[in-house]
Structure 1
Amino acid sequence: MKVTDSDLMEPSSCAGSGSEATKQTEQPRAMAGTAVRVRVDGSIFEVDKALLADNCEYFQALFQSGMRECQQEEICLQVVSACGFLVALRVIHGERPILDDHEIVKAAECAAFLQVKPLVKHLTNIINSDNCLLMYHSAATYGLWELYKSSALFICDMYQDLKEDMRCLSKDLIDYVEALIPSTYVIVGTHSPTIELLQDFMRTVCYFDEDEKDWRVLTHLPLNASTTMAGITALNNKIYIVGGVYDINNKIVDSGYCYDATSDTWSTFSNPQQPRYNCTLVGLEGSIYALGGEYERTTMSSVEKYNVATDTWSFVASLPKPLSAVACTKCMERIFICLWKPKDATEIYEYLPERDEWIQVTTLIRHQSYGHCMVGHRDNLYVMRNGPSDDFLRCMMDCYNLTTGQWTAMLGQYENSKGALFTAVVRGDSVFTVNRRATVEYSIEDDKWKMKKEMTGFPRIGSKWAFLLRLPKKSKEPLGKPDF
Structure 2
Amino acid sequence: MLKKLNVYCTEKDIMGKTESEDLQADYTTAMISGLQQLYESSQYTDVEIEVENRTFHCHRLVLAAMSPYFDAMFSSGMIESQNHKVNIKNVPSSTFDIILQFIYSGTLALNEENVGDVLQTSVMMQIKCLKERCEEFMISKVDTENCIGTWKLAQGHGCHYLTQKSFRFILHYFTEVCQTEDFRALDVFEVISIISDNDLNVKDEEIVIETVFDWIHADIDNRKQHIKTLFEHLRLPLLQPEYLLEVVEQNPLIQNETECREILDEAKRYHLLPARRQEFISPRLVYRNLGDFEEVVVCIGGSNEREQTRRTVMCCRNNKNWNYLEPLPYDPGVEYATCSYGNAIFASGGSSNLKGMLCYHSNQNMWTRCQSMLLGRRRHSMEAVGDSVYVLGGFDDTNEEEFQTILAIEKFKLSTGEWEDCGYLSTPVRSASSAVDREKIFLFGGVTGENFDTKIVQCFDTRRNTCSVVSQLPVFCRLSSAFGYQRKVVIICPDGKILSFDDGAVEDVGCIPGFERYSFGSVLQGDSVNIYGGIKSSEVFNDVICFNLSSKTASLTGTYMPERLFGFGCAKCVIHKKYLNKPVCK
TM-score band, normalised by the shorter chain?
0.5 to 0.7
Secondary structure at the aligned position of 1:300 is classed as: coil
Structure 2 CA distance for partners of 1:413 and 1:432, relative to 1, 3 Å:
closer
Partner of 2:487: 379
* Residue pairs, 1:389-400, within 5 angstroms: 395-400=496-501
1:184 is matched with which residue? 296
Q: Is residue 147 from structure 1 mapped to residue 269 from structure 2 by the alignment?
A: yes
> When the two structures are superposed, what TM-score results if normalisation uses the length of structure 1?
0.55
Determine the structure 2 residue equivalent to 1:94: none
State the alpha-carbon separation in 1 of the partners of residues 322 and 553 from structure 2.
Answer: 23
2:420 maps to what in 1? 314
Query: CA 1:214/1:407 → structure 2, altered by over 3 Å: closer, same or farther?
Result: same
Partner of 1:409: 508
Of residues 459, 466, 473, the one that matches 1:364 is 473
Post-superposition offset of 1:475? 1.6
Correspondence for 2:462: 353
Q: Secondary structure of the equivalent of 1:414?
A: coil
Q: Who is 1:228 aligned against?
A: 334
Aligned equivalents of 2:437, 2:258: Cα separation in 1: 18
Cα 1:271–1:157, aligned 2, differ >3 Å: closer, same or farther? closer
Cα separation, 2, equivalents of 1:201 and 1:276: 16
Q: Which residue of 402, 420, 423 corresponds with 2:521?
A: 423
> In the TM superposition, what is the alpha-carbon distance from 1:187 to its structure 2 partner?
1.0
Assess if the C-alpha contact under 8 Å between 2:484 and 2:490 holds in 1: yes
Deviating more after overlay: 334-343 vs 257-266: 334-343
Equivalents in 1 of 2:507, 2:315: separation in Å?
A: 33
Q: Residue 440 of structure 1 is aligned with which of 545, 555, 562?
A: 545
More helix by share: 2
Selected match of 2:570 from 451, 466, 483:
466
1:420 touches 1:433 (CA, 8 Å); kept in 2?
Answer: no
What is the deviation of 1:437?
2.9
Deviation, structure 1 residue 452: 6.9
Give CA deviations for 1:98-124 in whole Å, capped at 9, x if unaligned.
xxxxxxxxxxxxxxxxxxxxxxxxxxx
Which residue does the alignment assign to 1:137?
260
**Corresponding residue for 2:436?**
330
Q: 1:228 to 1:136 in 2, by over 3 A?
A: farther
Alignment of 1:75-86 (within 5 A): none
Contact 1:438 1:458 in 2 (8 A): no
In 2: Cα distance, 1:480 partner to 1:178 partner: 24
**Which structure: larger Rg?**
2
CA contact (8 A) 1:331 1:377 kept: no
Question: 1:65-118: per-residue Cα shift (whole Å, max 9, x none)?
Answer: xxxxxxxxxxxxxxxxxxxxxxxxxxxxxxxxxxxxxxxxxxxxxxxxxxxxxx
* Residue deviations 1:20-72 (CA, integer Å, cap 9, x gap): xxxxxxxxxxxxxxxxxxxxxxxxxxxxxxxxxxxxxxxxxxxxxxxxxxxxx
Equivalents in 2 of 1:154, 1:283: separation in Å? 10
The CA deviation at 1:210 is 2.1
Q: Amino acid of the residue matched to residue 322 of structure 1?
A: P
Name the structure 1 match of 2:326: 219
SS in 1 for 2:463: coil
- Give the letter for the 2:316 counterpart: F
Number of residue-to-residue matches in the alignment: 311
Superposition pairs for residues 259-278 of structure 1, below 5 Å?
259-278=360-379
Q: Deviations over 1:304-347 (max 9, x none)?
A: 11111111111111111222232112245542110247998622
CA gap 1:413/1:231 in 2 versus in 1, 3 angstroms:
closer
Letter in 2 for 1:303: I
Question: What do the CA deviations read for 1:238-279 (whole angstroms, capped 9, x no partner)?
Answer: 121222333xxxx646x4221100121221111112233332
Match of 1:245 among 323, 332, 351: 351
Report matched runs for 1:22-37 at 5 Å: none
Q: What is the rounded CA distance, in whole Å, between the counterparts of 2:359 and 2:262 in structure 1?
A: 33
Deviation at 1:386, TM superposition (A): 4.0
Which structure has greater strand proportion?
Answer: 1
TM-score (norm 2): 0.46
CA distance in 1, matches of 2:278, 2:334: 35
Gaps of 5+ in 2: 1-256, 534-540
Q: Partner residue of 2:581?
A: 476
Distance (Å, rounded) in 2 between the aligned partners of 1:303 and 1:327: 15
Question: Structure 1: which 4+ aligned runs deviate by more than 4 Å?
Answer: 148-159, 173-182, 340-345, 368-371, 419-422
CA distance in 2: counterparts of 1:180 and 1:358, whole angstroms = 43
Which whole-Å CA distance do the structure 1 matches of 2:258 and 2:347 have between them?
Answer: 34
| 8 A Cα contact 1:300 1:323, kept in partner | yes
Deviation at 1:469, TM superposition (A): 0.6
Return the alpha-carbon distance in structure 2 between the equivalents of residues 233 and 468 of structure 1. Answer: 10
Which whole-Å CA distance do the structure 2 matches of 1:174 and 1:457 have between them? 23
Q: 1:205 maps to which residue?
A: 313
Q: Which amino acid aligns with 1:257?
A: L
- Say if 2:432 and 2:446, in contact at 8 Å, map to a contact too: no
- The CA deviation string for residues 436-475 of structure 1, in whole angstroms up to 9 with x for no partner, is 33112332116x2443723113514341221111112342
Distance 1:268 1:215 in 2: 26
Measured on the aligned residues, the alpha-carbon RMSD in Å equals: 4.2
Letter in 1 for 2:317: D
Q: 1:229 to 1:135 in 2, by over 3 A?
A: farther
Letter in 1 for 2:350: G
Within 5 A, what are the aligned runs for 1:140-179? 146-147=268-269, 149=271, 162=283
The letter for the 2-side match of 1:281 is: M
CA gap 1:207/1:144 in 2 versus in 1, 3 angstroms: closer
Equivalences for residues 445-456 of structure 1 within 5 A: 445=550, 448-451=552-555, 453-456=557-560
SS of equivalent residue, structure 2 residue 261: helix
Counterpart CA distance in 1 for 2:334 and 2:259 is 41
Q: Is the contact between residue 156 and residue 182 of structure 1 (CA under 8 Å) also seen in structure 2? A: no
1:85-96 mapped onto 2 (5 Å cutoff): none
Deviation at 1:154, TM superposition (A): 8.0
In the alignment, the residues of structure 1 paired with residue 316 and residue 289 of structure 2 have an alpha-carbon distance, to the nearest angstrom, of 22
Asked whether the equivalents of residues 156 and 180 of structure 1 are also in contact (C-alpha less than 8 Å), the reply is no
